[in-house]
């Protein structure tokens, strides 16, 4: 059996809309308070894309930054994967639109959808292509404009989510470095806990679907919370097991930014002090597939991880889905 190439992240980038929507702003829009939101979620504000900004626009901006960081030209890209639940349209894929925007003329391009776990899924797919020698490099993007599919009269969902995009360039790296293991999981039996009911073949767009707000995010918050507490810790532990490492080997944790209590619970299970856990949901809220790559970009640019650090990225999301990646950071 061929072991394959070692695969690592050589560049990161992110893009966020300029508009900031604070909890105080939301108090004027829906029956909620800053104290209620902060106490239950840890969120203080989120970024909101304007009417002219689509998911591909944020994706393209984040991609350009990641390519520059990796010192790679767009025309040298082999593959583009965009993870999103808010594509520009059903087809063509957002990845193909990004390919056009970048001028990545030789890259294969497609989207994947695993909700908030989407970036971890996409990164794992890209890793396989490079590990097996099919491609030399890939651009992986997690991007969302969830504000466009939120019911701004539903206080249970509209306070949680924000818009943004994060991107990474994935390439071959030195042996023993880069991605050491990945773990993916799903439970379609509980998928109804987090959905966007209409707009697909089950409930096509109609006057009825629009009037009944079926194109907006619907969530059973208590069920998702209970699932997340279990899934985050389990996924991180599985990545460690597959990578042959122990809890004490972890240098840094980059979790999906959904709820501060879930993050703190995961850190406790992994026996990590919170100073080794990155949190930015107070500024951005839950950006779904963009959450982990935006956090990773900030971690890298703030110098919080260094070469040889063992880093775990972990997420959970609609589907229901979960996933994790263990890396030995390979970038200087």
Is-catalytic flag, 158? no
Q: What is the 3-state secondary structure of 234-258? A: HHHHHHHHHHCCCHHHCCEEEECCC
Which of 133, 154, 178 corresponds to the end of one domain? 178
Task: From the candidates 23, 96, 158, 256, give the one annotated as an active-site residue.
Answer: 256
Is the peptide bond preceding residue 26 cis, with omega within 30 degrees of 0? no
Q: What pLDDT, in 10s, does the model give residues 173-215?
A: 999 999 999 999 999 999 999 999 999 999 999 999 999 999 9
Report the pLDDT value the prediction gives residue 285, as an integer from 0 to 100. 98
Name the DSSP class of 7.
E
Per-residue model confidence (pLDDT) at position 230 = 85
Exposure pattern of 269-307 as b/e (b: 16+ CB <10 Å)? bbebeeebbbbbbebbbbbbbbbbbbbbbbbbeeebbee
Distance between CA atoms of 42 and 54, rounded to whole angstroms?
A: 27
Nearest-angstrom CA–CA distance, 213 and 153: 11
Q: What number is the average pLDDT over the span 229-242?
A: 92
Q: Which one of 160, 178, 196 terminates a domain?
A: 178
Residues 152 and 239 in one domain: no
User: Global pTM?
Assistant: 0.97
Peptide bond into 29 cis (omega under 30): no
Read off φ and ψ for residue 57, nearest 5 degrees. -65, -50
Q: How many domains does the chain have?
A: 2
Among the listed residues 23, 116, 137, 158, the single catalytic one is 116
Per the annotation, the verdict on 215 as an active-site residue is no
Question: Both 20 and 86 in a single domain?
Answer: yes
What Rg value do the Cα atoms of the chain yield, rounded? 19
pLDDT averaged over the chain? 96
1 located within any domain: no
The closest of 280, 301, 302, 283 to 292, measured between CA atoms, is 280
Task: Judge if 162 and 131 occupy the same domain.
Answer: yes
Q: Is residue 121 part of a domain?
A: yes
- Of 23, 137, 259, 286, the catalytic one is 286
Sequence-ordered list of residues with C-beta below 8 angstroms from that of 128, at least 6 positions apart, any chain: none
Domain end position, chosen among 178, 193, 221: 178
Kindly state whether residues 144 and 196 are assigned to the same domain: no
Q: Where residue 96 sits, what CATH number does that domain have?
A: 3.40.47.10
| pLDDT (average), residues 245-270 | 94
- What are the tens digits of pLDDT across the range 127-184? 999 999 999 999 999 999 999 999 999 999 999 999 999 999 999 999 999 999 999 9
Q: Are 72 and 122 contained in the same domain?
A: yes
Range of the domain at 258: 179-328
219 in helix, strand or coil?
strand
Residue 35 lies in a domain: yes
Return the HEC string of 256-271: CCCCHHHHHHHHHHCC
Rounded Cα–Cα distance for residues 150 and 163 (Å): 11
Same domain, 237 and 274: yes
319 in helix, strand or coil? coil
95 and 199 share one domain: no
Determine the 3-state secondary structure of 4 from DSSP. coil
Whether the pLDDT of residue 1 is over 50: the answer is no
Under the banding of pLDDT at 50, 70 and 90, the label for residue 2 is low
pLDDT tens per residue, range 112-131: 999 999 999 999 999 999 99
């Amino acid at each position: 059996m061929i072991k394959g190439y070692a695969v690592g992240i050589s560049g990161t980038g992110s893009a966020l809309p300029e508009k900031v929507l604070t909890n105080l702003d939301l108090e004027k829009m829906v029956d909620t308070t800053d104290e209620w939101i902060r106490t239950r979620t840890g969120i203080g504000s989120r970024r909101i894309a304007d009417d002219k900004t689509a998911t591909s626009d944020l994706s393209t901006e984040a991609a350009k930054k990641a390519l520059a960081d990796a010192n790679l030209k767009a025309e040298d890209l082999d593959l583009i994967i965009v993870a999103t639940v808010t594509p520009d349209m059903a087809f063509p894929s957002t990845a193909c639109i990004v390919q056009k925007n970048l001028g990545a003329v030789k890259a294969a391009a497609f989207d994947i959808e695993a909700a908030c776990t989407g970036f971890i899924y996409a990164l794992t797919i890209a890793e396989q292509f490079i590990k097996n020698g099919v491609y030399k490099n890939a651009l992986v993007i997690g991007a969302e404009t969830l504000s466009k599919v939120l019911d701004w009269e539903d206080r249970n969902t509209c306070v949680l989510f924000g818009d943004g995009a994060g991107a990474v360039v994935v390439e071959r790296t030195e042996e023993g470095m880069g991605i050491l293991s990945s773990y993916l999981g799903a439970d379609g039996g509980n998928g109804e806990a987090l959905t966007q009911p209409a707009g697909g073949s089950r409930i096509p767009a109609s006057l009825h679907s629009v009037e009944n707000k079926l194109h907006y995010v619907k969530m059973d918050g208590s069920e998702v919370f209970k699932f997340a507490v279990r899934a985050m810790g389990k996924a991180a532990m599985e990545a460690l097991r597959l990578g042959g490492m122990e809890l004490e080997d972890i240098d840094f944790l980059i979790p999906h930014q959904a709820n501060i209590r879930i993050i703190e619970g995961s850190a406790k299970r992994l026996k990590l002090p919170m100073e080794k856990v990155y949190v930015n949901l107070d500024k951005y809220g839950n950006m779904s597939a963009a959450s982990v790559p935006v956090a990773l970009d900030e971690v890298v640019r703030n110098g919080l991880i260094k070469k040889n650090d063992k880093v775990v990225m972990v997420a959970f999301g609609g589907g229901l889905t979960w996933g994790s990646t263990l890396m030995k950071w390979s970038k200087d």
